[in-house]
Amino acid sequence: MFSSCGKCRRYMKLIESRPSRLHCETCKETYNLPQNGLIKTFKELRCPLDEFELVQYSANNNGKVNIFIRKISIDFIYF
């Protein structure tokens, strides 16, 4: 169980083997994730457009954090 699907509202499974991805058993949909970093849910917030739960990606060494809204990426840099 990882983050909830915006289509059926059930939890998707995080598949950590490469390539990392989220899979919804109910909808039979798979969503690719960025590779080589830390993936976690972002404050249990949902996208107002499609109701998918936001996912946060942190690169291992550059301090840059990306928040993903399904297919749209919003970049944030923390100093």
E-state strands within 11-63: 13-15, 21-24, 29-32, 37-46, 53-59
- In a domain, residue 20? The reply is yes
With contact defined as beta carbons under 8 Å apart, do 75 and 66 qualify?
Answer: yes
Taking only the tens place, the pLDDT of each residue in 30-55 is 988 888 888 888 888 888 888 888 88
Q: Residue 20: which of 32, 8, 6, 29 has the closest Cα? A: 32
pLDDT at 63: 62
Supply the range of the domain harboring residue 54: 13-77
Number of independent structural domains in the chain: 1
More confident residue, 26 or 68: 26
Q: Tell me whether residue 6 is in a domain.
A: no
pTM: 0.73
> Do the domain assignments include residue 8?
no
Confidence band of 79 (pLDDT split at 50, 70, 90): very low
Question: Does the residue 3 lie in any domain?
Answer: no
